[in-house]
Chain A
Amino acid sequence: MDSKDSTLVEQRPAVLPPGAVSRRRNRFTRIATPYLLLMPAAFLYAVFIVYPIFRQFDISFFNWHIFPDVANPFVGWSNYIRIFHDPAIRTASENTVLFLVITVPIQMVLGLFAAALLTDRLPGRGLWRALIFIPVVTSWVVVSYVFAYIFGFQGGLANAVISLFAGHTVRIDWLAQTWTGNAVIWIVSIWKGVGWSFIMFLAALDGVPRDLVESARVDGASEPRIWRHVVIPNIRPTITFVTVLLVIGASQVFTQVFITTGGGPFGSTSVLLTYAYQQAFSFFNFSYAAAIASLMAIVVLGLSILQIRLMRRNVDQ
């Protein structure tokens, strides 16, 4: 009995140290837990983001058809070559760049201006802050439909207001003309987007040390010079950050164009994404649409990297 017991006692450490099972399990749990927690999100990301991106690149090299029994011949770079010879792409690109060049600076300036006004003790500034930010949290689809109604040819609010001031009936077909159609798209985008840059700048301005501004004031600086020498340098990281995100957003403009003008008349207000969408779902040129989207992704990625580098340099400085 004694010898048996002692053998058992002696053997146990060699075969299985006391507590080894739970320690090993603990180690496994510690390493595995983060991966297990990440898995649902990673799975969704892989299925709905990563796979479509690669599939899109894949499709862009074939003449791909949605019907299962039709052959999808490999066409190489021809879809990409077609992009550079397509006059409609030229219009869509111009409209996209124009949209970016017009809406981004205006959103930045208006957002900064509103933030500057509302950081000071303006009466009812809480209400103003809410009013400016509300459009940001509303749906693009709803807002686009509302603006399509406001600038509608028949019974639109814009025409009604102009008629009231003009004293006679004015009927402008805002959405059916290139420049007015584009202008409506810019207006809705600025109106909805300005609240976001406003909130960003508000936070940045709150972070400018009051001592610095007062020091500049005592040093004899006028208000414009205080902005130039103290405020702007202090909020530069935010300015860069807001620019980067607005540029990415503007490159991907879609909903407001799709709903208000639908890219019309004759594609004159179309942007790259509405054109790609039209190619895919109106003309079933899925491969060509995939090539446009792929090229856009590369350009936007390049732009983003460039801007993030600039931002880092600014922050370091």
Chain B
Amino acid sequence: MSSVSLEKVTKIYPNGFEAVSDLDLQIEDGELMVVVGPSGCGKTTVLRMIAGLENISSGTVRFGDEVVNDVPPKNRDVAMVFQSYALYPQMTVAQNIGFALKMKRIPKIEVDRRVREAASVLGLTEWLDRKPTQLSGGQRQRVAMGRAIVREPKVFLMDEPLSNLDAKLRVQLRAEISRVQQRIGVATLYVTHDQTEAMTLGHRVAVLRDGVLQQCDAPQVLYDRPKNIFVAGFIGSPAMNLLEGVLSANLDVLTLGSQKVSLTPAILSRLPGLRQYTGRAVVVGIRPEDLPAASAERPGPVLTGDVHLVEALGAEILVHFVIDAPVVQLDDSSVTKDSDEILVGPTSSGSECVARIEPRHTVRSGDRFSFGVSEDRLEFFDIESGLAIWD
């Protein structure tokens, strides 16, 4: 068992494409670190570099104190679950699970014992003699995890292991992965593009964009205090609403299009950095759940918009509305290949926002509806750099 540390790790492919840039990441022993980001952000490359399947262009990868840059994969003692599961089709479940032990020339009796133990942990005992093609997607996924369990590896790597499964199974196996990881108790790197998986599984989550680490924090910290617009837009579903606003000279009013939101001096004690933005334009971030329906019992500033879509989800209602605040212009590099994953959806007639309100309210498409705004839930970002304004 050991920790994994990446120091200034860079990967440049022969065609000149820089997949990972100067990445610093520390995965503690027993920790489950999730690397999340849109497709092509370099997260799988990070995982493959740790496994040794990809050479690193510069930087250092350490397992504990040992530098493993030049150690071949077979000597790294790493277990990996592939997106495709990579089960050997001609082998039975038992042979698949025991393959790594066989490669280590562990006696057959011991291999059998460990395979049976892993199978019982994963509920695979009755399938041990089956071939992978005779199993369902969920069972194959369990076999792939079984291969990792029997290894008792130094490091456990998982590359989007749930992406080929249906939504229900994904939720079920998410819990199972968590359980298995705790059981193995080794440094684990889990790669996904699904931020829900990242939030539910990770002890810490590293958000990657274009090969550059954006933020690495506990899931709740990422959600509550995103370091920049990208993280704010990527983490959370529906995404944080991002609007361009202007702060008044004495920071008592935030202007969003034709609407004004009054601010109190308390905001400065929470975000002292705002002092430098008096009279300037900023990006304002508001989570959908921080836009409740305005009501008499909830005094304070409101934001009014034209509703164009209502999604009743039972426990809550998602209200999509447009306000006339200027559109947030993300710079080119922010527009990723998977821009649909970043639900920042400015429209030509204004900025589109989403609010999450209680189901008791009646709201219809075409209505003009008001939402309460609480200043202590507002996040501010520099309009140029996209960085959060904190201190």
Q: CB within 8 Å of B: which residues of A?
A: 209, 211-212, 214-222, 225, 229-230, 233-234, 317
Contacts and interface: CB of A to CB of B under 8 A. Distances in A.
Contacts of A214: 51, 53, 73, 82, 86
A39 B331 CA distance: 67
Interface stretch (B96-104, B121-129, B354-362): B96-104
A219 B99 contact: yes
A184 B257 CA distance: 89
B204 interface: no
Nearest to A222: B74
Given A209-B86, A233-B90, A317-B90, 15 more contacts: A209-B84, A215-B82, A216-B103, A217-B72, A217-B73, A218-B53, A219-B74, A219-B147, A220-B75, A220-B77, A221-B74, A221-B99, A222-B74, A222-B103, A230-B88
B74 A218 contact: yes
A220 B104 contact: yes
B293 interface: no
B84 A219 contact: no
A228 to B, nearest CB: 11
B88 A212 contact: yes
B80 to A, nearest CB: 5
Interface in B46-60: 51-53
B79 interface: yes
Nearest to A221: B103
B90 A219 contact: no
B322 to A, nearest CB: 45
Contacts of A219: 74, 99-100, 103, 147, 151
5 contacts: A218-B74, A219-B151, A220-B100, A225-B103, A230-B88
Main secondary structure of the interface of A (DSSP, over half): helix
A212 B91 CA distance: 12
B78 interface: yes
Nearest to A225: B103
Contacts of A218: 51-53, 73-74, 76, 78-80
A103 to B, nearest CB: 29
A220 B88 contact: no
8 A-B pairs closest in CB distance: A215-B86, A219-B100, A211-B86, A220-B103, A233-B90, A220-B74, A217-B73, A218-B80
Interface of B: 51-53, 72-80, 82-84, 86, 88-91, 99-100, 103-104, 147, 151
A212 B82 CA distance: 9
A216 B99 CA distance: 8
Nearest to B80: A218
Nearest to B131: A317
Given A218-B80, A219-B147, A212 B86 contact: yes
A211 B84 contact: yes
Nearest to B144: A215
A219 B73 CA distance: 8
Given A211-B82, A229-B99, A217 B53 contact: yes
Contacts of B100: 219-220
A209 B83 CA distance: 12
A193 to B, nearest CB: 29
A209 B82 CA distance: 12
A195 B132 CA distance: 35
Nearest to A230: B88
B108 to A, nearest CB: 16
Contacts of A317: 90
Contacts of B53: 214, 217-218
B27 to A, nearest CB: 17
Contacts of B78: 218
Contacts of A222: 74, 103
B107 to A, nearest CB: 16
A222 B104 CA distance: 10
B23 to A, nearest CB: 21
A215 B80 contact: yes
A214 B77 CA distance: 14
A218 B68 CA distance: 14
B129 to A, nearest CB: 14
Contacts of B79: 218
A317 B89 CA distance: 9
A110 B88 CA distance: 26
A233 B88 contact: yes
A222 to B, nearest CB: 7
A308 B327 CA distance: 67
> Most chain-B Cβ atoms within 10 A of its Cβ — which of A214, A215, A229?
A215
B46 to A, nearest CB: 15
Nearest to A223: B74
A233 B96 CA distance: 14
A234 B87 CA distance: 12
Contacts of A234: 89-90
Contacts of A211: 82-84, 86
A214 B86 CA distance: 9
Contacts of A229: 88, 91, 99
A217 B99 contact: no
A311 to B, nearest CB: 15
A217 B79 CA distance: 10
B65 to A, nearest CB: 22
Contacts of B90: 233-234, 317
Nearest to A233: B90
A217 B82 CA distance: 13
A294 B72 CA distance: 58
Nearest to A212: B86
A209 B76 CA distance: 22
A204 to B, nearest CB: 14
A174 to B, nearest CB: 45
Contacts of B77: 220
> Most chain-B Cβ atoms within 10 A of its Cβ — which of A216, A219, A317?
A219
A220 B71 CA distance: 12
A216 B86 CA distance: 9
Contacts of A225: 103
A245 B90 CA distance: 25
A190 B25 CA distance: 55
Given A211-B82, A225-B103, A229-B99, A217 B74 contact: yes
Nearest to A211: B86
